[in-house]
Chains A and B, each alone.
Chain A
Amino acid sequence: MKTAIRGVMLVAGCLFASRALAIGLDADGFGVVDQVVQWFADPTQWTGDNGLPHRIAQHLYYVAVSMAVAVSIALPVGIGLGHWGRGGLIAINLSNMGRAVPSFGLVILMFLLVGIGFLPVLVALVALAIPPMVTNSYVGMQAVDPSVRTAARALGLSGWQQLWQIELPIALPLVMAGVRTAAVQVLSTATLAAYVGLGGLGRYLIDGLAQQQLAQVVGGAIVVAVLAVLLEIGLGTLQKALTSPGLAR
């Protein structure tokens, strides 16, 4: 139901955006909408290394690799700390501290320290993705009702069984909320990383700004925006599918 509402809102948003762009075009006679439509319609836009399919695939690859690394570090740490009730102060404040770090600056810093390529950007993206996931999974684990833990122990579940079968399923919505926040942020920052030479969709934005090609800039921005919203909706759907039916409201 919520997904349906989101879908409708997305379409409505796109319609509104195109309408708004049309007004913008009337105001300064730019023909932005026509240019952007042409940019999308151009057959060369859909093939080759600078084509949309390749750029989208590249972008999703960066997000997938960064998230895979970040998830395999952050979730065990956050879940472990939450399970054993240790390091709460750090775990809770980590996302606040992470928020204060300007992601654009971090990307350029890694570039200056390590050089060009995916590796420095990967380090920056992973560093940005870890804090929200640690905090959320810690909070999710801590939010498990102590009486539920006691009940699980009374039923004879071992420590691992308790973690896997009771605590993790209950904490899952919050854990996934952290994953979603991190994934959207990684997708966003990967766009900025085009500034230090990374491929992906950010190329359209950064190159377009440098060459003052409005159609390419706006076209690329639309694709990035839609991709981010789709990622968020997709992860939301995944979360719903993973959530135990007993927890669903």
Chain B
Amino acid sequence: MSVIRWDWVERHAGDIAGMLGQHVALTGLALLCGLIIAFPLALAAVRWPRLYSLSLVLTGILFTVPSLALFILLIPFTGLSMATSLIGLTIYTLLILFRNIVEGLRGVPRDVSEAARALGYTRGRRLIAVELPVALPVIVAGIRIAAVTTIGLVTVTALIGQGGLGQLFISGFTLHFTTPLLVGFVLSILLAVSVDLLLAGVLWWLTPWHRGRSA
């Protein structure tokens, strides 16, 4: 018996593409929601350092909770729905995104911010035109870790009726059939690696001043 039955893969190509689509959608939405929450929180934390340690502890505790348990604790509110998956996945991105945005902004050299201020930049423009671009490598590093982590976690939501490629794990288990499992496994890893490389490429494109130096 071969490990992969390609005829099965061919017959189910449409389903697999749909699951891959759901996987990408859940990951993208979770990252987007995570950024929308983490960004203002991070700006506040940079201004009020006490808020930083408090938020770190809170997001840290949420991050520690095992994924399946977190998804299940949301079921009483949102049921076995896509919202449950999305909220749970978003919660997992928060710690990584929040921490990296704060560390990135804190790592902006003081003289750079002050030079911008001396040039007459307002606080908002200074943030957008000077501090964020300087902090970008650290922020994107966080987005990369969050993206790869989320892609793995999406598969767990198969247990609560979502799951993207994780549904293939369930089929593999219930049918005792390695083909769907391996297809899901390999595609999930490939997706994680390509998203990681894509984000690295985006960073390279956004930060021309870093090019040519050793990373």
Interface of A toward B, CB cutoff 8 Å: 2, 5-6, 9-10, 13, 17, 20-21, 24-25, 27, 30, 32, 96, 99-106, 108-109, 111-113, 184, 187-188, 191-192, 195-196, 202, 205-206, 209, 214, 217-218, 220-222, 224-225, 228-229, 232
Report the Cα distance A48→B184, complex, angstroms. 38
Q: List 16 A-B contacts (CB under 8 A).
A: A9-B57, A13-B61, A17-B73, A20-B77, A24-B76, A99-B192, A102-B152, A104-B166, A109-B182, A112-B181, A113-B178, A188-B67, A195-B159, A220-B72, A224-B66, A228-B64
**A225 and B65 contact, Cβ closer than 8 Å, known pairs A99-B145, A99-B152, A112-B178:** yes
Report the Cα distance A145→B66, complex, angstroms. 36
CB < 8 Å A-B pair total: 140
Q: In the complex the two chains form, is A100's CB within 8 Å of B185's CB?
A: no
Q: In the complex the two chains form, is A205's CB within 8 Å of B148's CB?
A: no
| Per-residue A-contact encoding for B54-88, CB less than 8 Å = 1, 0 else | 10011011001111111011011100000000000
| Least CB distance, A86 to chain B, in whole angstroms | 20
Report the Cα distance A47→B67, complex, angstroms. 27
In terms of DSSP, what is the predominant structure of the interface of chain A?
A: helix
Q: Which of B53, B155, B160, B189 interacts with A209 by CB under 8 Å?
A: B160
Q: In the complex the two chains form, is A195's CB within 8 Å of B66's CB?
A: no
Q: Does B176 contact A (CB under 8 A)?
A: yes
Q: In the complex the two chains form, is A108's CB within 8 Å of B76's CB?
A: no
Cβ < 8 Å to A, chain B residues 150-177:
151-152, 155-156, 158-160, 165-166, 169, 172-173, 176
Report the Cα distance A225→B65, complex, angstroms. 5
Q: In the complex the two chains form, is A108's CB within 8 Å of B172's CB?
A: yes
Contacts of A6 in B (CB 8 A): 57, 61
Q: Does B149 contact A (CB under 8 A)?
A: yes
Query: How many of chain B's residues touch chain A, expressed as a range?
Result: 35 or more
Q: Does B188 contact A (CB under 8 A)?
A: yes
**A205 and B173 contact, Cβ closer than 8 Å, known pairs A30-B76, A105-B184:** no
**A225 and B66 contact, Cβ closer than 8 Å, known pairs A105-B181, A195-B159:** yes
Q: In the complex the two chains form, is B155's CB within 8 Å of A102's CB?
A: yes
**A221 and B172 contact, Cβ closer than 8 Å, known pairs A102-B155, A102-B166:** no
Q: A13-B58, A192-B156, A218-B76 are in contact. List 6 more A-B contacts (CB 8 A).
A: A100-B148, A104-B155, A187-B66, A205-B68, A205-B72, A228-B65
Q: Does B193 contact A (CB under 8 A)?
A: yes
**A108 and B69 contact, Cβ closer than 8 Å, known pairs A9-B58, A27-B77:** no
Report the Cα distance A227→B160, complex, angstroms. 22
| Least CB distance, B154 to chain A, in whole angstroms | 8
Report the Cα distance A202→B71, complex, angstroms. 13
